[in-house]
Amino acid sequence: MILLWLILVLLIGGLLAWLAGPRHPLWSRWVSLASLGVDLALALALWVEAPGGVDLSRGGPWVATLTWSWIPTFGINFHLAADGLSILMTMLTLVLGIASVLASWTEIRERVGFFHFNLLWSLAGTLGVFLAFDLFLFFFFWEVMLVPMYFLIALWGHERRIYAAIKFFLFTQGSGLFMLIAILGLVFAHHSATGTYTFDYFDLLGTRLAPHLAMWLMLGFFFAFAVKLPAVPFHTWLPDAHTEAPTAGSVILAGVLLKTGAYGLIRFVVPLFPEAAHRFAPVAMALGVVGILYGAMLAFAQRDLKRLVAYSSISHLGFVLLGVFAWNLLALQGAVMQMVAHGLTTGALFIMVGAIQERLHTRDMGRMGALWHAMPRMGAVGLFLAVASLGLPGLANFVGEFLTLLGSYRVSVPLTVTATVGLVAATVYALILVQKVFHGRPREHWEAADLGARAMAVMLTLIALVVWLGVYPQPVLNTAHPALSAALTPPARVALSTGAAP
């Protein structure tokens, strides 16, 4: 039941926050914070129970499961499960959710209750994505998390918020339809082979498919997840959505929603279609390398501070795509570590950008300069996040990128060598950010308040996590190891380990 409560607490908290908003906006904020705090405590309890290894004879890496019959005629169940990968993504979601509520404490002043309702329901949908193991239920949660994010951008965004919200919705909904078609195709293929309708993930593992059908179905899933990641050339919605979203929306979008695409690649694309994914791997890895270089170059060219951080996300998540399709334990560990590290550092960067925009009412780096003198705490935080983002050894991003490159080197030396150029490019745009915003000569006279106690508490917490996981990444690696090792086993063995038919 703990898995169900992880979702219900946020759904109920969102409704209570909406109802409390008209009475007093502060109540809405505290209700949201309390809901996320309760969920974080539940997730920590799951993390403590996470196994340290894989024992297929005892059910594999699953910490908790919940299965209720939902629509038995079509083999649809309310099936939730959690392993180390799900727990890590759940923890990341809740930590960044708390950071988002605190970061928007003074930024959001209109329709505060409805804002927190959409924020919590988007997070609830995201948790559902990470915990659902019935493909119909997975698609349901996939849609649930998108609609509230549309409202967050459209109602509380900046100048071109309607354009950005519609573009975000069309890209994500359109790609989601391809995934729905692929899900139905897989279900019908399984029915043709076994005579049984089922949407259960474990039943569908190892389904015998004709090679051409497996490739088309795999591409349906891949397209949906590549758009959400986003991978080049499916990325064009991301800079606009990030730029126009409120701070909390940008944090959740970059730190959490993008990770659903990476999670889907690891959880569904390769395990469900191993042969097709193996044939497609050179193309996918090449797209990852293109994303690393293309995102870095476009980040280098930006004047808008928020767009710079947005394009840097495309570059960093290219490493995830590279690592997933290298499909060995080192590369997958690197991909998961990069997902966590990117969520923490980029989430903190968007909070910093939001704080700067709230104080200066601009994101144009051409108007900034020498802000360190006016806001020394902001400058120190910005410098740390910039060097963390470029992958300084001893910080979490370095571990993720290094492991990914080690794993991909075993598969393709040319692609790995090319991907390392992205590390050099990241250094350039990170240092440009620091120079243009915090150093140099002042281009305009700014008298702005520095980061306050609440914002500094959020920043220091995220910084501490980045340092901790950079110096001692074992908590993430040990937690993810059982799930990743199980994913690398043949589908039939995984299905048998869960008691499902292969």
pLDDT tens digits, one per residue of 229-252: 999 899 999 999 988 999 999 999
Residue-wise pLDDT for 4-14, tens only, equals: 999 999 999 99
Q: In degrees to the nearest 10, what's the CA dihedral of 221, 227, 232, 237? A: 170
Which tens digit of pLDDT belongs to each residue from 456-493? 999 999 999 999 999 999 999 999 998 898 888 754 33
Mean pLDDT of 448-453: 81
Q: Buried b vs exposed e over 48-61: b needs ≥16 C-beta within 10 Å? A: eebbeebeeeeebb
Q: Which helix (H) or strand (E) holds 65?
A: strand 64-71
When pLDDT is averaged across residues 38-62 and rounded to a whole number, the result is 69
Asked if residue 99 has pLDDT above 90, the reply is yes
Confidence (pLDDT) at 317: 93
Q: Is the pLDDT of residue 59 over 50?
A: no
Question: Tell me, what's the pLDDT at 197?
Answer: 92
Nearest CA to 359 out of 263, 444, 301 is that of 444
* Confidence grade of residue 162 (pLDDT, cut at 50, 70, 90): very high
Q: SS3 of 64, please? A: strand
More confident residue, 295 or 495: 295
- State yes or no: pLDDT of 497 exceeds 60: no
Mean pLDDT on 343-363: 91
- pLDDT confidence of 390, banded at 50, 70, 90? confident
- Note the pLDDT of residue 142: 94
- Classify residue 456 by burial, with Cβ atoms within 10 Å: 0-12, 13-18, 19+: middle
* pLDDT single digits (tens) 63-78: 888 999 999 989 999 9
Residue 501 confidence class, pLDDT cut points 50, 70, 90: very low
**pLDDT grade for 343, boundaries at 50, 70 and 90:** very high
Give the pairing of strands 76-82 and 64-71. antiparallel
Give the tens place of pLDDT for each residue, 311-324. 999 999 999 999 99
Higher-confidence residue of 431 and 221: namely 221
**If you average pLDDT over residues 173-193, what whole number do you get?**
93
Mean per-residue pLDDT over the chain, rounded = 89
pLDDT at 500: 34
pLDDT tens column, 103-151:
998 888 889 999 999 999 999 999 999 999 999 999 999 999 999 999 9
How does residue 182 score in pLDDT terms, banded at 50, 70 and 90? very high
% the chain with pLDDT above 70? 95
Question: Residues of 13-41 as b/e, b for ≥16 C-beta within 10 angstroms?
Answer: bbebbbebbeeebebbbebbbebbbbbbe
- Alpha-helical segments (H) within 270-412: 270-272, 274-300, 305-326, 329-360, 371-374, 376-389, 396-409
